[in-house]
Amino acid sequence: MSRFTMFLLALGVALVLFLFVVRGVAHCAPQPTVPGSCDPVDQKSCVQPLLEGEVAPFSGQLLTPRRAARLAVEAGSCKEATAIEVERVADVWQLRLETEQRLRKNDQDAHQLEVDLLMKRMAQMEEALSPHWYERPVFVATMASVVTVATVVLATWIIDSSIPAH
């Protein structure tokens, strides 16, 4: 095997060993403690959170009924407030989207009008710069041919009429 292949293999083994060591150290870390919370009205109505790996009791209650009911009411009002806020944010974003679409449509219409105006100006300029009917090559060529033929015929006639007949 080449040196590079050996190096990659050694690097892979080192990485795997490192991950095993880190995993083992992470399990040895102490579990964080989460403070409990109590009802301000009834100090006997408390909540004690459980962390992953802790054993829950098989009998008894983790919440008193009063505390459970109070938490349920608070959770319900939070759901309603959250639903209202989500609906409000959705409406705001919908309005922003519609406004942006209208702006883009207006920009598109303005650009189309600008293109139309430029096309009209270009047509006007082409018309203004195009030669008059008497300057066009077809007319000039035709007239030059007619004048040349007429000149030759006239010259021939003049020469024929000036020579005395015998």
Residue 80 and residue 50: Cα distance in Å, rounded?
A: 27
pTM: 0.37
Measured CA to CA in angstroms, residue 4 lies from 12, 13, 14, 18, 138 at distances of 12, 14, 15, 21, 82
Tokens of 114: 């600008």
pLDDT for 82 equals: 85
The one-character DSSP state at 53 is T
Burial label, 119 (beta-carbon count in 10 A; 0-12, 13-18, 19+): exposed
Question: Predicted confidence band at 75 (pLDDT cuts at 50, 70, 90)?
Answer: confident
Among the ranges given (40-54, 69-83, 90-104, 122-136), the one the predictor scored with the smallest mean pLDDT: 40-54
Contacts of 50 (CB under 8 A, 6+ apart): 56, 62
Q: Is a pLDDT exceeding 80 seen at residue 29?
A: no
pLDDT for 61 equals: 54
Domain ranges across the chain: 65-150
Tokens of 115: 């293109």
pLDDT for 144 equals: 93
Q: With CA atoms as reference, report the closest residue to 49 among 36, 66, 59, 39.
A: 36
**Mean pLDDT across the chain:** 79
Question: Predicted confidence band at 12 (pLDDT cuts at 50, 70, 90)?
Answer: confident
- Residue position matching structure tokens 């300029």: 125
pLDDT for 109 equals: 97
Q: Is a pLDDT exceeding 70 seen at residue 59?
A: no
pLDDT for 57 equals: 61
**pLDDT tens figures, 85-113:** 899 999 999 999 999 999 999 999 999 99
Residue 56 and residue 131: Cα distance in Å, rounded?
A: 101
pLDDT for 134 equals: 82
